[in-house]
């Protein structure tokens, strides 16, 4: 009797997506919406769009990604608009480049809404089964094998396995094979990827404990409420009216730190049991206490996981300490003196790939039509995963349609920055998107994502007519409003100057347009509405957008010129057949890095770690010599 089931061909698909997290959802929906017969395979139907860590979408830089996903025709923004329980615009005290939306999600509702969307999507099938290996056929197609024996033939495959590949949970001395949130891991697929010659490495992440809401003392915490007027994530959502749920701020205490220091020898992080690298920008509480020993407390956020659950997420308290240490540790914090742990904190170690093995389209360089997206590429975060999933799903479909891939550059989108960083520079730790990573932040604002990307989404077919018409109408409203206020003049009357002085603004000496007046930092639409009696009814985000364009006009123009210079280097393409080891003058390190990455342009080559400006000069000279040699050869043949 055989110890395994027999393999049998179950069905054939254009695209098979492995994984149903945030990357897998966007990849599957994009592929199906672009007309591809698509199959999504997941370890568990309960893991679709699951939030195993923080119960929120958006945040600094991440909100930009969600807006860009939405502008291209993705699903994340629409889904969080339906399922949020609180929303805030972050960084309002700073410039518009870093304004970012962040919403608390009802985790279960978010999952069920995304599952419903996937189940109802035409061209998309959904199955619960573990994928064990991938086979490559002579014609370039793939066989995707499963633990049930069924295998599926696919013309393209998108791998979005998150933290499931050989996932291992650590809680103190206890460690065991597991995926996130107690779900089963994927233990066989990694070996199949290695057989393709794909470089695999281990990363780590973690999550805090979940505490029963009724065991907390909210009176000693600081309540955090949402914005009075909610700005939606999706450009398709007109208005959101919900009863918002408060979050809370609390702090660790010296006793908390003492408990942690006394038990560091029981932390797998400090005992060397876990040797993989975790996210620097989301450290465990053990790391915080050790590395910031001068601080007598650390701020924490207490966040509800939904409207119909008592689970509360303690943001900032990720830990891998033993369960019996976690109990007194959590109870030593302000307002958590009687905390009842419903789910313990844990660390999880998992397999991921070196993303420099990928093209900017997220296709593997070695194998055509094999794409990777999400945490398997070394990134962290739901938004980073969804962004990559969307691009991978789009490009899998475009590849099968014999069309050019959608590649967003660093001047077009945060998604472009994210993917370029991963495939060009690689990462030695779970990569997190931050506004500081983007060189052209003032152009890549979250409020103009539709202006930057909707046309692209429409051209490839992911943005449908209703969205495109709404976008065109919005652009017309903005254009008309700017033209209107450019033609309305305010004269230096006494009552007007008195008003301007009352808000600490300089009195007028000659007539000025409202357009020019709005350039003053202390002036906004709200405080001059009585000076503009014929102003049309405009949505808040339209007024905010117009103000930003006006107030930062000079800076935007300057950054636009910088982008023109940037694109000159991006447009200097490098032929694929170049052997960098044969270019004299290039340093050995540069030869090795260039040979590994195979950059598409001089611009991309200049961003590779280990490639210096002098190496770029050598490369430019070589390319010019090569061009002249080819021109001379053509002229001689013509003669």
Residue 38, classified by CB atoms within 10 Å of its CB into exposed (0-12), middle (13-18) or buried (19+), is buried
639: pLDDT strictly greater than 60: no
Q: What is the pLDDT of residues 96-114, one digit of tens each?
A: 999 999 999 999 999 999 9
**The pLDDT value given to residue 272:** 80
Of residues 125, 127, 168, 124, the one with CA closest to residue 146: 127
Q: Which of 346, 375, 390 is the last residue of a domain?
A: 346
How far is the C-alpha of 208 from the C-alpha of 58, rounded, in Å? 19
- 553: DSSP letter: H
Q: How far is CA 531 from CA 190, 511, 512, 515, in A?
A: 66, 13, 12, 12
Q: Which of 301, 321, 346 is the last residue of a domain?
A: 346
* In a shared domain, residues 254 and 289: yes
Flag whether 308 is in a domain. Answer: yes
**The pLDDT value given to residue 635:** 60
Token reading at 237: 């959502």
* In a shared domain, residues 228 and 320: yes
3-31 in b/e burial notation, b at 16+ Cβ within 10 A? eeeeeeebeebbbbbbbbbbbbbbbbbbb
Flag whether 243 is in a domain. Answer: yes
Q: What is the pLDDT of residues 596-636, one digit of tens each?
A: 999 999 999 999 999 999 999 999 999 989 888 876 665 66
* In a shared domain, residues 272 and 308: yes
CATH of the domain at 519: 1.10.10.1800
Mean per-residue pLDDT, 383-409: 98
* In a shared domain, residues 555 and 579: no
Mean per-residue pLDDT, 337-354: 97
170-188 in b/e burial notation, b at 16+ Cβ within 10 A? bbbeebeebbbbebebbbe
When divided into structural domains, the chain yields a total of 3
CATH of the domain at 339: 2.40.30.260
Residue 322 vs residue 271, higher pLDDT = 322
Q: pTM for this structure?
A: 0.95
* In a shared domain, residues 530 and 619: no
* In a shared domain, residues 218 and 296: yes
* In a shared domain, residues 626 and 510: no
Flag whether 500 is in a domain. Answer: yes
Residue 217: HSE in the Cβ half-sphere, 13 Å Cα cutoff: 12
Q: Which of 537, 562, 587 is the last residue of a domain?
A: 562
* In a shared domain, residues 251 and 336: yes
* In a shared domain, residues 247 and 282: yes
* In a shared domain, residues 229 and 334: yes
Mean per-residue pLDDT, 395-409: 98
How far is the C-alpha of 562 from the C-alpha of 564, rounded, in Å? 5
- 425: DSSP letter: I
* In a shared domain, residues 341 and 214: yes
> Which secondary structure element, helix H or strand E, spans residue 471, and what is its range?
helix 465-486
Contact 13, 40 (CB under 8 A): no
Token reading at 30: 């994009």
Contact 249, 280 (CB under 8 A): no
Flag whether 411 is in a domain. Answer: no
The whole domain housing 599 covers 572-638
**How many CB atoms sit inside 10 A of residue 1's CB?**
2
CA quadruple 329, 332, 333, 336: dihedral, nearest 10: 90
* In a shared domain, residues 327 and 260: yes
């Amino acid at each position: 009797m055989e110890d395994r089931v027999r393999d049998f061909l179950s069905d054939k698909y254009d695209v098979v997506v492995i994984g149903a997290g945030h990357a897998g959802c966007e990849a599957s929906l994009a592929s199906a919406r672009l007309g591809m017969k698509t199959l999504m395979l997941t370890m568990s139907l309960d893991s679709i769009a699951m939030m195993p860590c923080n119960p929120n979408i958006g945040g600094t830089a991440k909100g930009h990604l969600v807006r860009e996903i939405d502008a291209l025709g993705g699903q994340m923004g629409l889904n969080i608009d339906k399922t949020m329980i609180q929303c805030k615009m972050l960084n309002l005290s700073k410039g518009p480049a870093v304004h970012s939306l962040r919403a608390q999600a009802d985790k279960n509702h978010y999952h069920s809404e995304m599952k419903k969307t996937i189940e109802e999507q035409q061209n998309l099938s959904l199955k619960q089964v573990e994928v064990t290996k991938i086979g490559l056929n002579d014609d370039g197609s793939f066989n995707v094998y499963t633990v049930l024996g069924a295998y599926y033939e696919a013309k393209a495959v998108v791998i979005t396995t998150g933290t499931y590949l050989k996932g291992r949970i650590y809680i103190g001395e206890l460690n065991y094979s597991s995926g996130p949130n107690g779900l089963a891991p994927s233990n066989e697929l990694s070996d199949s990827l290695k057989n393709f010659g794909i470089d695999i490495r281990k990363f780590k992440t973690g999550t805090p404990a979940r505490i029963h809401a009724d065991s907390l003392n909210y009176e000693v915490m600081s309540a955090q409420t949402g914005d009075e007027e909610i700005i939606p994530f999706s450009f398709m959502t007109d208005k959101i009216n919900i009863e918002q749920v408060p979050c809370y701020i609390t702090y660790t205490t010296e006793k908390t730190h003492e408990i942690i220091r006394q038990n560091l020898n029981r932390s797998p992080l400090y005992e060397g049991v876990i040797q993989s690298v975790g996210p620097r920008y989301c450290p465990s509480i053990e790391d915080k206490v050790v590395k910031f020993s001068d601080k007598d407390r650390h701020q924490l956020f207490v966040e509800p996981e939904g409207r119909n659950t008592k689970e509360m997420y303690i943001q900032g308290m990720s830990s891998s300490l033993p369960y019996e240490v976690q109990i007194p540790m959590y109870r030593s914090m302000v307002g958590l003196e009687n905390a009842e742990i419903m789910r313990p904190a844990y660390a999880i170690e998992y397999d991921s790939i070196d993303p420099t093995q990928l093209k900017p389209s997220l296709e593997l360089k070695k194998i055509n039509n094999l794409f990777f997206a999400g945490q398997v590429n070394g990134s962290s975060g739901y938004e980073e995963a969804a962004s990559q999933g969307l691009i991978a799903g789009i490009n899998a479909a475009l590849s099968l349609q014999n069309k050019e891939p959608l590649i967003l550059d660093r001047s077009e989108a945060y998604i472009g920055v994210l993917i370029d960083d991963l495939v060009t520079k690689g990462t030695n730790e779970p990569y997190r998107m931050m506004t500081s990573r983007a060189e052209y932040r003032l152009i890549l604002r979250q409020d103009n994502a539709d202006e930057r990307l909707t046309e692209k989404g429409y051209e490839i077919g992911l943005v449908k007519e209703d969205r495109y018409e709404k976008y065109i109408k919005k652009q017309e409203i903005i254009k008309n409003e700017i033209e209107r206020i450019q033609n309305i003049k305010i004269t230096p009357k006494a009552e007007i100057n008195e008003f301007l002085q009352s808000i600490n603004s300089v009195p007028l000496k000659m007539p000025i347009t409202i357009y020019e007046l709005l350039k003053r930092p202390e002036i906004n639409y709200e405080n001059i509405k009585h000076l503009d009696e014929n102003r049309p009814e405009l949505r808040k985000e339209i007024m905010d957008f117009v103000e930003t364009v006006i107030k930062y006009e000079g800076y935007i123009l300057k950054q636009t010129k910088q982008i023109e210079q940037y694109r000159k280097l991006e447009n200097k393409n490098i032929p694929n057949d170049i052997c960098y080891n044969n270019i004299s003058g290039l340093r050995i390190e540069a030869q090795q890095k260039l040979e590994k990455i195979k950059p598409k342009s001089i611009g991309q080559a200049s961003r590779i770690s280990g490639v210096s400006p002098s190496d770029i000069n050598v490369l430019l000279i070589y390319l010019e010599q090569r061009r002249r040699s080819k021109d001379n050869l053509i002229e001689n043949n013509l003669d």
